[in-house]
Structures are given as structure tokens and as C-alpha cells.
Amino acid sequence: MLAKNIAESKYKLKSKPTEIVSPYANEPWWKEAVVYQIWPASYKDGNGDGWGDIPGIISTLDHVKSIGTTVIWLSPHYESPQKDMGYDISNYEAVDKIYGSMEDMDKLIEEVHKRGMKLICDLVVNHTSDQHAWFKESRSSRDSSKRDWYIWRDARYDAEGNRMPPTNWKSYFSGSAWTWDEKTQQYYLRLFAESQPDLNWENEETREAIYQSAVKFWLDKGVDGFRIDTAGLYSKKYPLEDAKFDPKSHTESDEFLFPELGQTLNGPRIHEFHKEMYSKVTGKYDAMTVGEVGVCSREETLKYII
């Protein structure tokens, strides 16, 4: 009997194991993706200049693949003054020289795909750098054809005649969310750094330029999608009004107050804008998009899912 039981046990060990089928087998590839973020500046220095770079990234792809990665998220690699680590983009269609060349980027896309992985990039389109050609043109004159590509407003004045920003909003970084432009005598909105003016998504021409330069350009290059930066901020609620004083989070001495979420986050046209970008650009590719939204209810979050 013992011999028979041993024989049966051996037989069972040799039997074919039950095949485990993933519940996502028939779903889009990104449903089961394992994403590995690479912050290029500090990741791998390939030429010894103290900055991480694209050739350095390429040299580690076998390791990245070996730990189970299926998607690499590359943080901003675009041309930039680097005042906010690349989140201040001066040219969407160029690679910053500290990271390498466009040829290096083409090689990275090729090598990632060669290993069966995919590559997504950061999409930063709530704002640009103040060194972007669009903003340089916008601030050149009130009559500029790109004046309305950004959000410009006249100053206010107090009872003593002191100039004041258009609203009492505080930047998410520090100080006022408005910066005075001496040449054209108006303020521009910048929810983040002074060097990061907010784009005006209400302008259809601006949106079309964003879709072509920041999105389609890279999808045509072969990237597989985007992690969308500050994806809930593009639609502002107009007219722009002062934030209300809240004794729970502010003191009487506060000069600037954070804008009410209802005026800058999950704005009235935000889902329209994302659906438009999907219908005009990303939906035409086998692309993954995942957005950074921030404070959001469950009900509001579901509206972002296309």
C-alpha cells in the first residue's frame, strides 16, 4: 500500500499544472502594466558630467526588464531652463542637451521596444517655461497673435493707489499666483513658479498647438503614451475671483490665499478638454494615459476615465 501511494504521488507530481489565465488577458496592454519611473537627472550618468542622461538609461534596460517592468515612465526630458527640474518646458519637440540628443531618444524608444517593454513620457501642458517661443511671443505685445494663449489680466489698485494682482490667489509654490509684466503692463497667471506661465486652454488654437507639438509629435516618434502632469488644472472657472478667507487654514496676516478648488481644479471644461485630446490625438494610437489629478472625490475621479 505504501508503494502504491508513493507511485500515485509521483504520478501526480508529473501531471501538467493547471494553466492560470490572467483576468486581463483580453484587455488593453496597460491594464496589467508594471510601471517603473525614471527621473533622468539622477538616474544614470553615462558620460561622467554629473547629470543622468539617456545613454545612461539605455545601459540599464536589461536590469529594468529583469525586475518585471513592462512600462517605463520617463520624467521630463524636454528642452528646459531647468528651474523646476524640466517641468518648465521651453520646447516640447526637443531633448534637453543635458540628457542627450534626439538621436539618443530615438535609440531609447527602439531599445525599450526591442526588450518587449513600452515607454511613456511626462505630458506637461498646464504651463510652459517663460522661455518657450509661444510665451515670448505672447508677452511681446498686447496685440500679439499669441497674447490669448496665456492668461493675462489687468492690475487692481487699493484705496491708496497701490498696484495689486488680479486676484488674491497664492501660487502652489510661494507668493502670488500672478506675475507682473513691466513691458505690457499686465499680470500673467502662473499657478506654480514665476517662470511657468499657465496656458489658456479656453483658446482652441492653443489646444490644437498643444496636441500637435506636445502629444502627436512624440506618439509619432513611437512613445506609447503619457503620464499627464497636473491633469485637473487646465480648466479654470471664469470669471477669476478672489479666494474666500477660511479661518481654519488662513490667518488674518495672509497676504495671498490658495485659490478655491472650484476655480482651478476639476474645472467646468476639464473633461471636455481631455475627451477632445483623446478623440483628436491619443485615441488614434494604442496609447496609455494616466493623469495626476490631486484632490478629487470618487464620483469626480470616475469622470476622468475614458
Residue 81 lies in a domain: yes
* Ordered alpha helix ranges (H), 2-52: 2-14, 40-43
Q: Dump pLDDT digits (tens) for 140-174.
A: 999 999 999 999 999 999 999 999 999 999 999 98
Residue 86 lies in a domain: yes
Q: What is the pLDDT of residue 260?
A: 76
Domains identified in the chain, total number:
1
Residue 286 lies in a domain: yes
Q: What is the pLDDT of residue 24?
A: 58
Residue 223 lies in a domain: yes
Whether the per-residue pLDDT at 65 is higher than 80: the answer is yes
CB within 8 A of 244, min separation 6: which ones? 257, 260
CATH number at residue 82: 3.20.20.80
Q: CB count, 10 Å around CB of 196?
A: 26
Whether the per-residue pLDDT at 200 is higher than 70: the answer is yes
Catalytic (active-site) positions: 229, 292
Confidence of residue 13 (pLDDT cuts 50, 70, 90): very low
Contact by Cβ (8 Å): 125, 214 = yes
CA distance 144 to 136: 10
For 296, the domain range is: 33-129+199-234+265-303
Residue 94 lies in a domain: yes
Residue 289 lies in a domain: yes
Torsion sign over Cα 99, 101, 106, 108: negative
Q: Dump pLDDT digits (tens) for 252-262.
A: 778 898 887 77
3-state DSSP call for residue 13?
A: helix
Contact by Cβ (8 Å): 191, 201 = no
Q: What is the pLDDT of residue 130?
A: 98
**19 against 222, higher pLDDT:** 222
Residue 274 lies in a domain: yes
CA distance 162 to 250: 23
Q: Dump pLDDT digits (tens) for 83-101.
A: 999 999 999 999 999 999 9
Residue 69 lies in a domain: yes
